[in-house]
Amino acid sequence: MITIHGYSPSGNCHKLRMLLGHLGRVEGRDFRWIETDSAHGATRTPDYLAKNPNGKVPMIETADGRVMVESNAILAWLADGTPYFGGDAWQRAQTLSWMFFEQYSHEPYIAVARFICGWTPLDSPRRADLPRLRERGNEALAVMEKHLASNEWFSSTGYGIADIALFAYTHCAQDGGFHLAAYPAVSHWLDRVRAQRGFVPMAPVAAENQALIRASRGG
């Protein structure tokens, strides 16, 4: 049994639930989820930092006590030998390329804008960053839109872990003030992802965070 330390509203954590759902793994039977509220310090305790000095979620532990961190590396391990990370060396590296794009050019803007809107007070000084985050996040969405003009998926050999990695924060980008209607190919791709067998939707965001997201739309 794998143990996942994860925060349910985090897209990075949700990636693992998505892939495990596609693989037919059942929560409680094949893996357990320890809710770890990274927005309120649960990843900065001495016990947690002893396992993951970088203090982030998700983190997994195997039955024999081995630890792995970094959502996209965990996806690569869980999907190894499955169609979700298929192909030859070139194709697998192309799948990884989109996963590095996600962590460098997408998540730091789209996920961070969502976090600021939903998890910081309305008078937070971090809100001054939102225009720049939205500019860079829209650049990432435009790169995705362009790719989808001639490709069905981001993973090389069909739906797979690069799609899961990019779905995680793209599908809730509107929480951070992005307008997905401006990206029709991305919107259709999101629908194709949701139609995949075993797809698990993200848990609803708590009421207090939803209220902040709604209030941010006025700004």
| Cβ at position 29, least distance to its own copies in Å | 22
Tokens found for residue 87? 């192909």
Residue 147: Cβ within 10 Å count: 17
* Identified binder of its own copies from the candidate list 51, 127, 147, 192, rule CB under 8 A: 147
Segment contacting its own copies by CB under 8 A, of 33-41, 76-84, 171-179, 183-191 = 76-84
Residue type at 181 in one-letter notation? A
Q: From the CB of 10, what's the least distance to its own copies, in Å?
A: 14
97 binds its own copies (CB under 8 A): yes
Distance CA 153, CA 28 (A): 31
* Angstrom distances, CA of residue 132 to CA of 108, 137, 219: 11, 8, 15
CA angle in degrees (0–180, nearest 5) for 38-44-50: 125
Can you tell me the distance from the alpha carbon of 218 to that of 212, in angstroms, rounded to the nearest whole number? 10
Smaller CB separation from its own copies, 132 or 179: 132
Q: Which is nearer to its own copies, 103 or 196 (CB)?
A: 103
- Chain positions contacting its own copies, by CB under 8 A: 53-54, 56, 66, 68-74, 76-77, 80-81, 89-90, 92-94, 96-97, 99-101, 103-105, 107-108, 142-143, 146-147
